[in-house]
Structure 1
Amino acid sequence: MYAIIEDSGTQIKVSEGDVIKIDKRELAEDTASITFDKVLLVGGEGEAKIGEPVLAGASVEADVLEEGRDEKINVVKFKRRKGYKRNMGHRQSYIKVKVTKISA
């Protein structure tokens, strides 16, 4: 069974047991799990259920594994023959979660 969820404007295909990275958000200190309510599609067992735009009553539960930051991405702005060059870096914060249950 798999589902397509929307989180922070991104659509993610997940199955039970998958480990995914999602955008960091404010969580309580003792939060052990996250529930995703914006489920766009559930499939895998017979007919796929497609939401318009989301499925009513469907949810995906996931356990929080860790919080961290991705690898550094170097951003270079450059204009030739103008003496213009700028270097910037960016590290995206994330929360790593493991999908435990998909309910339609």
Structure 2
Amino acid sequence: MTVPGRLDCGGAVPSEREIRVYAIVRSGGRQHKVAVGDIVEVDKISTAKPGDTVELSTLLVVDGDAVTSDPWVLDGIKVLAEVVDHTKGAKIDILRYKNKTGYRRRQGHRQQYTAIKVTEIPTAAK
């Protein structure tokens, strides 16, 4: 059932009884919300090849009702992910123009990404 004015993303809605474990991780100066099985594009990890396992530093872990944000506990928790592929993002056109002077410059950029699949999120010992 769709409600007027709301977008239906078509995804499965988790039930209230289902425990969802996710983590906020840092990679390349950015933060990503990940769960086990998610495929996430992060800034390129140049030392990793497809099939390698990488560790991501954790900022927050949510396990049902338990939220772990203590930095001393999170030091020992590393999210494990497998490198799937290296890709490039969409092209960004950079145009510079100054009126009446004939100054025009055109530059393009494609950001390089690494697609990773999250395999394990260890939880804090209770």
TM-score range, shorter chain: 0.7 to 0.9
Q: Identical aligned pairs, as a percentage?
A: 35
User: Superposition pairs for residues 6-45 of structure 1, below 5 Å?
Assistant: 6-27=26-47, 32-36=52-56, 38-45=57-64
Structure 1 pair 77–52 and aligned structure 2 pair: CA distance change class (3 A): farther
Question: 2 CA distance for matches of 1:96 and 1:30?
Answer: 9
- The 5 A counterparts of 1:15-94 are 15-27=35-47, 32-36=52-56, 38-52=57-71, 55-94=74-113
Q: Please give the root-mean-square deviation of Cα atoms over the aligned residues, in Å.
A: 2.1
User: Which one has a larger percent strand, Structure 1 or Structure 2?
Assistant: 1
Give unpaired runs (5+ residues) of structure 2: 1-20
Distance 1:43 1:28 in 2: 27
Distance 1:27 1:41 in 2: 25
Structure of larger gyration radius: 2
Instruction: Work out the CA distance in 2 between the residues paired with 1:54 and 1:74.
Output: 44
Q: Which runs of 5+ in 1 are unaligned?
A: none
- Separation in structure 2 between the aligned mates of residue 75 and residue 54 of structure 1, nearest angstrom: 44
Compute the displacement of 1:46 (Å).
Answer: 1.6
Q: Cα–Cα, structure 1 residues 20 and 6, in superposed 2: closer, same or farther, change >3 Å?
A: same
For 1:70 and 1:20, the matched residues in 2 are separated by 13
Higher RCO (Cα < 8 Å, 6 or more apart): 1
**1:39–1:54 contact (8 Å) kept in structure 2:** no
In the alignment of these two chains, the number of paired residues is 103
TM-score, normalised via structure 2 length? 0.71
**Which sits farther off after the overlay, 76-85 or 23-32?**
23-32
Alpha-carbon deviation of 1:97?
0.7
- Per-residue CA deviations over 1:54-81 (Å, capped at 9, x if unaligned) read 8221111111111121221111122334
